[in-house]
Structure 1
């Protein structure tokens, strides 16, 4: 029986020698895993439909890969970054960076913060349920403890925020320098634009 033209490709060697050289090692291994997994499923369907008698990629092992562990900034690097921001950017940007480092909040959580969510006495902030996105990482409100450095950044930001402004821009966002939200100048779009 004559082999179809694609038969040479659907074997161990054909699958394993697929060109993935344009990716870094992690991407290459993840790509191989995804490729073999999709191909294995496709061939399983072909066997079920009796187009093939056996799955030629069933015995190919999945590529083993792990993400490298995070490499967080050390204390000295954090101080250099914050000092650089204080020297080269508006105070609101430096406050944003300091608060991000010392609070550990996610971006979506930062954007939804409001001044009234901060409990200055208990050194906590209430993160609202869901944030801006409909499909947030968590679907529950949570309390986050703040250290003194995060609180200092908030106090400095509060000094940058004039009283009395209430104009809103966009859905759930506030223009910088308005008092309703913590995003006012701290992580509003203008501050982000300055960061680059």
Structure 2
């Protein structure tokens, strides 16, 4: 069409439009698949201005604007990773990860990045972070040390915590190293540390009663009823504090567990994303009847904080009461989550069907058999052995005495 170069870094190039700009210290000239009309040239100039701003703020993606550029492979690694620091990439991952992660999980991962990785590597470009550097930093974090800024003694991270803080670090580098990037992933080959899995550590029936009596004495009926429901209904704490009256069937004595509350955030799903109906035993049902007089008129959550008169948002005040109660009576400390394990084991030792117990507590049968198997043999009260003996006695052929 014979047009001369226009101002603004764009010009006709055959039946396409060339866009010129500086990228990583070099001038590049990719083209747009647009006929070089006056309107299209103006559009290309606006696009170039956008690209310049994106480069300035570290958000430019060569592949997004010029996916068919013949030299894309040469520029993509630098454009996608080199221009951003690790801290900037961590921010990008934070934004993208919020779409797929639970709020509580997302918050924990961001806290880990900001506490352990960004202070160390934040100012570096990703290609400058090596496998050895990451391993060396993990080795440092695993040991007791003095914080150089605060002078405080820092306890070395446990193996479990080391595994946990690697999760968001892996996520950031998975994003950085996506093809066509050719940056080596420094996290590749770093395996999780082996950790010892804790077994369920439930309370004995006499301990349960001792705890509830002391809880009532120290903190009143409302707090004691909260933990009695924990022991005998076996809901997760996140499900317990989110339970609403619309989920309670007083006639059938059941509750529908279909929501949770984690780190003050309400969710319309449980931890396993499966709702379940829990049949309440007499102790749990009695708590619901007492709570009915206290909170049913508000038609909201079943359990309220007696200190604030508002629904629980987390487990902090309950944990304080729990810790002080166990200390007062001299019962070996276990976390409040063991109330749920106690509910499981009490049911198994009473002879309940393990499959029913699994359904009640939102466990898989595999988890039930793996984690709670040792409580099952004592639950049958000899019925299983009696059945085997009965079968043996009827099937065995008579044997003659040796002469």
Which bracket does the TM-score occupy, shorter chain normalised? 0.5 to 0.7
More helix by share: 2
Q: Alignment length, in residue pairs? A: 167
The answer on 1:80 being equivalent to 2:210 is yes
Q: Which runs of 5+ in 2 are unaligned?
A: 1-123, 143-155, 321-403
Pick aligned residue for 2:248 from 117, 122, 132: 117
Aligned counterpart, 1:13:
132
Pick aligned residue for 2:304 from 181, 184, 188: 188
Question: TM-score scaled to structure 1, two decimals?
Answer: 0.60
Aligned counterpart, 2:224:
94
Distance 1:27 1:128 in 2: 30
Q: Which entry has the higher C-alpha Rg, 1 or 2? A: 2
Name the SS for the 2:278 alignment partner. Answer: strand
Name the SS for the 2:177 alignment partner. Answer: helix
Aligned counterpart, 1:149:
283
5 Å matches for 1:120-135? 120=251, 122=252, 124-127=253-256, 129-130=258-259, 133-135=266-268
Aligned counterpart, 1:169:
none
Question: TM-score scaled to structure 2, two decimals?
Answer: 0.33
Q: What is the deviation of 1:194?
A: 6.9
Q: Is the 8 A contact 1:113 1:128 kept in 2?
A: no
Higher relative contact order (CA 8 A, sep 6+): 1
Q: Is the 8 A contact 1:33 1:63 kept in 2?
A: no
Q: Is the 8 A contact 2:239 2:257 kept in 1?
A: no
RMSD after superposition: 4.0
Q: Cα distance 1:114–1:178, how it changes in 2: closer, same or farther (>3 A)?
A: closer
